[in-house]
Structure 1
Amino acid sequence: MNTTLPPLRALQAFEAFGRLGSVSGAARALGVTPGAISQQLKQLEAHLGMPLLIKDGRRAALTPAARAYHDLISQGFERLMLAQSLIASQWQNGELTISGLPTLMQRWLNPRLLGFRATAGDVPIRMVATHREPDPQALGQSFRLTYGAAAQRYAHSRVLFTDRCFPVCSPGFLERYPDARDPAVLAGLPLIEIDWGPGYATVPRWEQWFDQAGTPARGLRPVAVHSLSGLAIEAAAAGQGAALAQASFVSADLESGRVLRLSDDDLPMPEPYLICWSPMTLARPAAREFLNWIMRETRPLRSPTVKEG
């Protein structure tokens, strides 16, 4: 196997394909043709001396070894993107940078930012969505929205809220499996799992929810595993299976009817979401306004028994 680094363009195409799940999606993200993506993937396979893709019907998917390789490659690209964002923010006067877990940023924070703008005016905001926790020393004047014990690495943090999980599915899924509201039946149906990776071992899993519902289920084999909660919700909305969704991420989908809640039983997240910052952050008025705003926004969601850090 070649031990030299592959061409950066090939790695970039591979990272985009693994993240987006298709050649066409990677091509749109990188502004090139699907043929160019396919060529770069073949070049990377030739460089590594091993296959990276397997055919899954009409689509191509990563091999198990390629998925592990992609996890490491993605971390590198996330750090490059974060570094670029931090440098760029220093050149833009008054810009407020907020880094956070991808689905938390997309499905919880982003829909609420209009409320912050009503308070703070036209403060430029840079949003950086990444699972990778930034180095505390590189946080600069930014905020980090994260989960659980990951907040301990930062100088300052406060609890935002503790979420709850429950099963959801598409209306079409419930039509195909009308008894899916029964946990004993649900355990034998197509289930979509969420796995954030080894850094987040306390994220709830299906087996825990079934225990909470009084129907223990062991040896479950999900039809799909997603590293992003948002992707799992989209898969459930597309009818691929039932997903264990977080209340804060799925509220809009429930209101629109894209997904349906299958049970009143819910499972609390073992740890809360938190906002973190460095000693330099609150020197800026816009940052202080953002912190005050987000704490007001989450006050109704916080349990009175939770002590803020």
Structure 2
Amino acid sequence: MQSILPHLRALHAFESFGRLGSVSAAARELGVTPGAISQQIKILEEQLQMQLIMKDGRRASLAPRAKAYHAVLSSGFEKLKQAQHLLSQQVADLDVHVSGLPTLLLKWLNPRLHRFEARFGETSIRLEATHVEPDPEFLDHMFRLTYGTVSNVFPHARALFRDTCFPVCSPGFLKDHPDALDLEKMANLPWIDIDWGPAYASVPRLSNWLVAQGMPKPAHRPISVHSLSSSALEAVASGKGIALAQSSFASIDIDLGRLVRMSQKFVEMPEPYFICWGPQMMENEKSRNFLNWVLSEASG
């Protein structure tokens, strides 16, 4: 197999085909004919001296040996897309770019931004909500608000706060279930679960809170499971059940009367939330102001 890098056009055609699953879909994405996609993949196969595509009748798919190659190649193209995205944001002359976990941006940061502008004047801020952690080298162009030990991979990180968790429900739900505040009966109520995935298995759930209070776990399965805390809280606010909420995410809805805190007892999140950044971020005055402001908000 040759060590010379194949033509970018052939790599692009192969990456698109493997990701989308068909020649016609790759052709539409890249704005070429299906024949052009097939030709570029054939060129790549000849240069790599290996089969990349196998056919089962009229259906084509990645050959088993090509799957690992495609996965690495896709990550490279994704990095190119991220670099282009960052460049476009710089050209747009934004003052501050913040990437963050979706609910952390929606429920904690966004409601506070008016205080930043009141203190430092009008500022152009881009908020990018994503669970995908950016590459550390990209943090010379953005801040990252994230959770836990993943912050260790970034050049600079400061803890913001360690959140607390307690059960919440809607006023309407409480009216329909007047005994909902009785801890001994809470395990029998309809409930909504929040599951961030296996990487966050230590994040407490309603069962953990109940056990911490000496109560039994929920007596039945949740009526729904949400990967986004904000989505779960909206389901709770609509009266569908109770959920274990984080204080930083639920406080505004509690103040607005959309949610009711069902107990003053709480459990702590095992790790803090963090703000992360790269060295060059501190060369910009507005970025320095934003960092100092976020830290003050978290400690307030």
Please give the TM-score of this superposition, normalised by the length of structure 2.
0.72
Aligned CA RMSD, in angstroms, stands at 2.9
Greater alpha carbon shift after TM alignment, 105-114 vs 116-125: 116-125
Q: 2: CA distance between counterparts of 1:90 and 1:128?
A: 14
Taking only the aligned residue pairs, the percentage that are identical comes to 48
Q: 2: CA distance between counterparts of 1:183 and 1:223?
A: 19
Q: 2: CA distance between counterparts of 1:259 and 1:163?
A: 18
- Pairing 1:299–2:299 present: yes
For 1:145, the equivalent position in structure 2 comes to 145
- Pairing 1:5–2:18 present: no
Contact 1:140 1:280 in 2 (8 A): yes
Contact 2:144 2:276 in 1 (8 A): yes
Alignment of 1:1-309 (within 5 A): 5-6=21-22, 7=25, 85-217=85-217, 220-300=220-300
The number of residues matched between the two structures is 239
Q: Which amino acid aligns with 2:242?
A: A
Q: 2: CA distance between counterparts of 1:219 and 1:246?
A: 22
Q: 2: CA distance between counterparts of 1:218 and 1:124?
A: 46
Q: 2: CA distance between counterparts of 1:226 and 1:200?
A: 14
Q: 1: CA distance between counterparts of 2:291 and 2:112?
A: 14
Q: 1: CA distance between counterparts of 2:171 and 2:161?
A: 29
Greater alpha carbon shift after TM alignment, 184-193 vs 216-225: 216-225
Contact 1:141 1:281 in 2 (8 A): yes
- 1:298 positional shift: 1.5
- 1:290 positional shift: 0.5
- 1:198 positional shift: 2.3
Structure 1 residues 221 and 82, CA gap change in structure 2 (3 angstroms): farther
Q: Which amino acid aligns with 1:164?
A: T
**Higher radius of gyration, 1 or 2:** 2
| Long gaps (5+) in structure 2 | 1-16, 30-58, 61-74
Q: Which amino acid aligns with 2:168?
A: V
| Long gaps (5+) in structure 1 | 12-46, 49-74, 301-309
